[in-house]
Chain A
Amino acid sequence: AQSVTQLDSQVPVFEEAPVELRCNYSSSVSVYLFWYVQYPNQGLQLLLKYLSGSTLVESINGFEAEFNKSQTSFHLRKPSVHISDTAEYFCAVASGAGSYQLTFGKGTKLSVIP
């Protein structure tokens, strides 16, 4: 069985400050890792994913996440946040067993303060 822990349920941060949203996972097999974002009153959108290769993955809007196998982590970072980044962020894991069945964390609400 696999599980995801998002340690922070809410993260307030001032605009233009850096942010890190933490995600730890547990799985007995090789994993694929995802970050999804949910803006207010919208559906979940894929932000970035790690499948294989480089352990550092980036999104088009400046977020990045690094897969750390030894620490079983996939933390999400952005060096300078914008008001428009206010949303809920979900980390998810899928086992590499021929299907991307996702197990989600409980989510982290990022609030960017002007």
Chain B
Amino acid sequence: EAGVAQSPRYKIIEKRQSVAFWCNPISGHATLYWYQQILGQGPKLLIQFQNNGVVDDSQLPKDRFSAERLKGVDSTLKIQPAKLEDSAVYLCASSYGRTDTQYFGPGTRLTVL
């Protein structure tokens, strides 16, 4: 069974630029999560989708971050414009349902200069 795929694995941009990350969850998984992991900290949930609907985006900085899962499968997370403090690893996870084990992708390491 293929795992959660993310791309790119690494991204370096300058502040005020835009960036987008892509996630392909495990086939059949209805629930998809995006986390932000700042160096030295544990992952922090940004947004949770159930199929193509948003369940919780209370910790998403909506003035600059956006995410979508239009067809209930792949998802993209965008930052526009990026700030220095956005430097982090962005993790995507998926689960079969909302109360099932989450499986994590390898993450995208973002560096904002």
Contacts and interface: CB of A to CB of B under 8 A. Distances in A.
Interface of A: 4, 9, 36, 42-46, 49, 90, 92, 98-107
B113 to A, nearest CB: 22
B64 interface: no
A100 B98 contact: yes
Interface in B1-25: 3-4
Contact of B42 (A43, A98, A99, A105): A105
9 A-B pairs with the lowest CB-CB distances in the bound complex, closest first: A104-B42, A44-B104, A43-B104, A43-B106, A99-B98, A104-B43, A106-B42, A105-B42, A106-B41
B45 to A, nearest CB: 6
Interface string B77-113: 0000000000000010101001111111111000000
Contacts of B99: 98-100
Query: How big is the B interface, by class?
Result: 20 to 34
Nearest to A45: B104
Contacts of A106: 40-42
A43 B91 contact: yes
Nearest to A99: B98
A43 B4 contact: yes
B77 to A, nearest CB: 16
A11 to B, nearest CB: 15
Given A100-B102, A102-B102, A44 B91 contact: yes
Nearest to B42: A104
